[in-house]
């Protein structure tokens, strides 16, 4: 009987273990910070479970392997996206200082959660007193909790939980441009909460602990409500961030984006300028600044900022497209616009916006060339019109009217075979082109042996649109001689 019970218990434990392992895998895929779970479970084995390291280790080996794989995958993904910052940008010494200060800052913000921001910019340097006080705080707490290891193990477990779960995001390997981030503290604060909860239980009477817990909960609710107000929209969020931080180029930039989306371009431009004073080489700021200037009618200045953005990100199809838009809106710079659209499409062949913009600007340029050719032809300069029609067709190969008019001026210059080729191309594009049928018929009628073909095209033209003059020409061709 007891053996059967042990087997049933063993089967249930294995089933629960595999479910836990599955949950860990899902956690790694959704939040890489969960990579520290095996470390946390080791701490829980020590307190409150009081398991020996040997008995706990065999269950943790698969988790440790998954943790290592998850950490490596997260690093490779972040490196591939450019999020991992180089040592030259954030020197190792500065990272170590920021690590110490961040550990202390998170503790302070847990107990005094004010001046919170969506983004904290990375400092160029940290005051020595901040680094010294933060180091003193961390060392002091560490010494105290380790001395209490046997009598108050929960203190060491909570403290190591806090220190350990922050390791992946504390900035030793810097990902992103933030000095620290409040969103990183959800799991680590559980460790500090363990220290506080079990500590208060020891030093306060039960009723007083309940009163303190209620008071803290109400205070947190009030503070939470205040924070929610800053998250109403992007403008309130980043305006608040600028009030509680300094040198925050990202907040200036995102506030500018929010203002630009509302059409408040002069205000947005001021925010972009402030962001560029902090980060002059920020390509995304240069691009959005250029967009705001372009929307305000300052096209030449916008072009300079797009070009500055491309110096930092030469392979950005979006910036090439934006620069092309600015060129397209500038007289006599259409060829440069076309070249930039083509670069954008080389970088991103499925870039539909750039493709549509290119088609539109080419169509407009082709129309301008076509109109110039028409003017020259109308002023008895057919030979001079030929290059303009040809350029129109280079830009827009399916331009039926350009094919037709080029054929006319070529025929008038004795280049009948070339003219026929353009008339035939026009009809392949638009079989119902009345003018192309008529002009092709006239050109064919001049060639020996092509009269039947000419008659057929005259008839096709008359089917499209009855015309007495064309009918007369057809009758003249069909009249017996």
Distance between CA atoms of residues 82 and 175, nearest Å: 9
Residue 329 belongs to some domain of the structure: no
Omega before residue 48 within 30° of 0, cis: yes
Residue 457 pLDDT:
93
**272 in a domain, yes or no?**
yes
- Rounded to 10 degrees, the C-alpha dihedral 396/401/404/410 comes to -70
In a domain, 347, yes or no: no
Please give the residue range of the domain that contains residue 240.
232-312
Q: Are 290 and 303 in contact (CB under 8 A)?
A: yes
User: Which domain-ending residue is among 218, 246, 276?
Assistant: 218
SS3 180: coil
- For 262, phi then psi, to 5°, come to -95, 5
Same domain, 99 and 208: yes
For residues 55 and 102, membership in a common domain is answered with no
CA distances to 37, 408, 444 from 456, in Å = 84, 19, 10
What pLDDT, on the 0 to 100 scale, is given for residue 5? 42
- From 57, 84, 111, the end of a domain falls on 84
Are both 209 and 110 inside the same structural domain? Answer: yes
pLDDT at 31: 85
Q: Do residues 59 and 177 share a domain? A: no
Looking at 84, 114, 148, the residue that finishes a domain is 84
**Shared-domain flag, residues 91 and 65:** no
Shared domain for 76 and 99, answered yes or no, is: no
> Residue 321 domain-assigned?
no
Does any domain span residue 354? no
314 contacts: CB under 8 Å, gap ≥ 6: none
Q: Is there a single domain that holds both residue 457 and residue 370?
A: yes
Report the domain count for the chain: 4
131 shares a domain with 12: no
Do both 371 and 473 map to the same domain? yes
Cβ atoms 430, 411 nearer than 8 A = no
Question: What is the three-class DSSP state of 358?
Answer: helix
Question: What's the confidence (pLDDT) of residue 2?
Answer: 44
Which string of DSSP letters, residue by residue, matches 75-144? HHHHHHTT-BPPTTTS-HHHHHHHHHHHHHHHHHHHHS--S--S--BPPS---HHHHHHHHHHHHHHHHH
Is residue 149 in a domain? yes
Tens-place pLDDT, residues 129-172: 999 999 999 999 999 999 999 999 999 999 999 999 999 999 88
What CATH number is associated with residue 236?
1.25.40.10
Q: Does 68 reside within a domain?
A: yes
Helix (H) or strand (E) holding 150: none
Q: Does one domain contain both 278 and 384?
A: no
pLDDT at 12: 83
pTM of the model as a whole: 0.82
Residues of the chain with pLDDT under 50: 1-2, 4-5, 8-9
Distance CA 329, CA 351 (A): 20
pLDDT given for residue 53 in this prediction: 76
Structure tokens at 133: 């006080």
| 323 inside domain | no
Is 458 in the same domain as 370? yes
Residue 75 and residue 93 in one domain: no
């Amino acid at each position: 009987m007891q053996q059967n019970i042990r087997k049933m218990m063993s089967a249930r434990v294995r089933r629960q273990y595999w479910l836990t392992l599955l949950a860990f895998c899902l956690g790694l895929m959704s939040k890489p910070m969960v990579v520290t779970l095996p470390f946390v479970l080791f701490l829980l084995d020590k307190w409150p479970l009081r398991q020996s390291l040997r008995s706990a280790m065999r269950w943790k080996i698969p988790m440790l392997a998954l943790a290592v794989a998850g950490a490596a995958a997260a690093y490779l993904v972040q490196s591939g996206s450019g999020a991992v910052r180089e040592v030259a940008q954030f020197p190792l010494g500065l990272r170590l200082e920021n690590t110490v200060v961040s550990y202390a800052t998170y503790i302070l913000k847990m107990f005094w959660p004010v001046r919170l921001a969506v983004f904290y910019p990375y400092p160029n340097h940290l005051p020595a007193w901040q680094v010294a006080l933060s180091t003193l705080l961390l060392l002091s707490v560490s010494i105290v909790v380790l001395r209490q290891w046997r009598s108050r193990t929960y203190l060491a477990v909570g403290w190591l939980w806090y220190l350990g779960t922050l390791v992946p995001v504390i900035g030793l390997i810097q990902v992103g441009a933030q000095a620290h981030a409040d969103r990183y503290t959800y799991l680590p604060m559980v460790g500090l909460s363990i220290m506080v909860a079990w500590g208060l239980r020891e030093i306060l009477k039960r009723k007083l602990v309940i009163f303190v817990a209620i008071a803290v909960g109400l205070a947190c609710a009030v503070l939470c409500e205040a924070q929610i107000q800053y998250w109403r929209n992007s403008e309130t969020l980043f305006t608040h961030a600028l009030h509680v931080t300094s040198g925050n180029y990202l907040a200036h930039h995102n506030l500018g984006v929010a203002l630009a989306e509302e059409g408040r371009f002069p205000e947005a431009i001021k925010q972009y300028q402030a962001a560029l004073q902090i980060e002059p080489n920020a390509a995304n700021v240069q691009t959005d600044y250029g967009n705001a200037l372009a929307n305000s009618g300052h096209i030449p200045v916008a072009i300079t900022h797009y070009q500055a953005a491309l110096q930092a990100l030469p392979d950005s199809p979006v910036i090439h497209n934006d620069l092309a838009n600015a060129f397209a809106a500038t007289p006599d710079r259409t060829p440069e616009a076309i070249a930039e659209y083509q670069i954008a499409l080389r970088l991103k062949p499925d870039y539909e916006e750039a493709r549509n913009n290119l088609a539109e600007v080419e169509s407009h340029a082709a129309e301008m060339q076509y109109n110039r050719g028409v003017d020259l032809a109308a002023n008895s300069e057919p030979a001079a019109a030929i290059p303009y029609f040809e350029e129109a067709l280079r830009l827009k190969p399916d331009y039926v009217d350009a094919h037709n008019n080029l054929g006319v001026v070529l025929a008038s210059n004795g280049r009948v075979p070339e003219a026929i080729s353009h008339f035939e191309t026009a009809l392949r594009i638009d079989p119902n082109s009345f003018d192309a049928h008529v002009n092709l018929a006239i050109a064919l009628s001049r060639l020996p042996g092509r009269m039947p073909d000419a008659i057929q095209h005259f008839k096709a033209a008359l089917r499209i649109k009855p015309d007495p003059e064309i009918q007369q020409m057809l009758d003249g061709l069909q009249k017996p001689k």
